[in-house]
Structure formats: C-alpha cells, structure tokens
Amino acid sequence: MTRGTIAVGFAGNPEEPSAVRGGPVFEILFGMETWLRQKGLRHQVELVFFSPAAEPGNRLGPEAVRGLLAEMKRRGIDTRLGEKLVRFSETGVTTAQGEIPADLIVFTPGLRGADWIAGTDLERSPGGFIRAERTCQVPDRPHLFVVGDTGAFPGPDWMPKQGHSADLQADVAAANIKDFLEGRRGTRTFRVELVCVVDSLNSGTLVYRTPSRNFLLKSSLMHNAKAFFERRYLARYR
C-alpha cells in the first residue's frame, strides 16, 4: 500500500471499562506514522484515529490523554472520537455519526474473559473475568489463585491489564501459594502500578501511574530503553 487511508482504533468492553487495550494501538499509530515519514510516503497516506470513547486512553491518566491527542494533532493524524461503532466494511468504518472512509482498518476490540470460564462455577466479573482478591486468591477457594489479564481484581477504575501488572501479581501469588502450601494464609497484596512506554519507532513516551502519582516523560531515548528492557526481560526466560 503506497497511498490511501489507514484507520486505526480501539474500543473498550462496555460491560467492564477496565478491559481495554489502547497502549499498543497508540504504538501502532505513532510507529506507522514515523515509518511512513521515514519512507517518504506520509504525504500519500492519510491516518485517522477512531474510538467510541471521547477520551481514549483515559486509564493512563488525564495528562496522558491530552498528551496523546496533542501528539496526533502535531503529526497531522485526524481523529474521530466519541462515535459509537456500527460496522466495518471494505470501504471503511461506519459509526453512528457517519462514515470514516479507509483502505485499511486496524482495530483492537475490548477484552472479555475466556469462554471456558463461563462454563465453570467461578465468580465472574461483568466482562467474564475471574474475580480475585488483591492477594490473587479466588474468594472462598483457598487453593485457587489468579494472575494477569484473566483476573478481575479490586482497585481503582484505571487498574491496568498489562504485562507489568501480571508480573507484580505473579510475584505475590507465588509467595502466597508458598504460604498456603506451608499451612498459612498468604496475605501479601500486589502493588497497583501502571508503567508503559508508548513506543513510536524512533522515540517514546513513558506513562507512570499509581494511586498517588501520574506523570508522562517523552524522550527520544524511550525507544531504545524499551528495546533494551525487552531484551533483558526475555533473556531471563531464554
């Protein structure tokens, strides 16, 4: 594709607002914009970002939403926000407000719990995830723990479903399981912390959020920092 329009968007799960994955979509959008510029094709390819949310990415914090939308404006990316999605077709995206003509659509839907969970007697959240305590323990099931995307945990409404959270939860769950196996009730709870680098291929923005802090740090070093982090992270498993 050397010319045309690419529409990039994401949506949440209306039944569970925290079940949304916007970070990678911002990365695709900014990464593609950078790449098209590097290839000298940007003037031939229009980019449109769409979301049924009026403030997409609001779980990253209000400053992040403002920063991400300002970055789209700076890069000449059109936005169609707050428009309920109706359908995708060969000619583009149809919303309740009209058409977004597009030659290519990149879309990430809201998340929901795996189908098999519905076939169990586990307590589920509205989005179909397994309810668990901040100790990662499933209520009234002393032998059952849950970590990562598939858990619905108590906490602020911006609680992220991200790899970093899964790591923090897994540490706590492992320690609490050890306690359980030794006849004690594990009481450790995981830290609520959102850390993400929105990579844009040659730069990036670090977003950090805890119940008491929220900041953004944009730097050309962030692209390499994320690549370095990835190499180090995967090396442990390899």
Is residue 151 helix, strand or coil? strand
Give the number of C-alpha atoms closer than 13 A to the C-alpha of residue 96, restricted to the C-beta side: 8
> Phi, psi (5° rounding) for residue 91?
-100, -5
- Interaction of residue 66 with ligand FAD, rule CB under 6 A: no
Of the residues 109, 126, 148, 155, which one makes contact with ligand FAD according to CB under 6 A = 148
Distance in Å, CB of 27 to ligand FAD, minimum = 7
> Residue 33 is encoded by which pair of tokens?
């914009």
Per-residue burial over 216-234, b if 16 or more Cβ lie within 10 Å, else e, is beeeeebbeebeeeeeeee
Per rule CB under 6 A, count of chain residues that contact ligand FAD: 14
Min dist. Cβ of residue 183 to ligand FAD (A):
28
Q: Which of 46, 103, 149, 171 touches ligand FAD (CB under 6 A)?
A: 149
109 binds ligand FAD (CB under 6 A): no
* From 78-86, 121-129, 144-152, 178-186, span contacting ligand FAD (CB under 6 A): 144-152
Alpha helices in 75-220 (DSSP H): 115-118, 163-181
Query: What's the CA gap between 17 and 154, in Å, rounded?
Result: 14
Q: CB nearest ligand FAD: which residue?
A: 148
At closest approach, how far in Å is the CB of 226 from ligand FAD? 7
Query: In the window 179-208, what residues touch ligand FAD (CB under 6 A)?
Result: 196
Token duo for residue 112 = 């929901």
In terms of CB distance, is 92 or 209 closer to ligand FAD?
209
Residue 98 touching ligand FAD (CB under 6 A): no
Choosing from 54, 86, 114, 217, the residue that interacts with ligand FAD (CB under 6 A) is 114
Compute φ and ψ for 73, nearest 5 degrees: -60, -45
Give least dist CB 203 to ligand FAD, A: 15
Residues 6+ apart with CB under 8 A from 190: 134, 136, 153, 165, 168, 169, 171, 172
Min dist CB 119 to ligand FAD, Å, is 11
Choices 6-14, 52-60, 82-90, 143-151; region in contact with ligand FAD by CB under 6 A:
143-151
Pairing of strands 45-51, 78-81: parallel
Residues 152-181 that bind ligand FAD (CB under 6 A): 161-164, 166
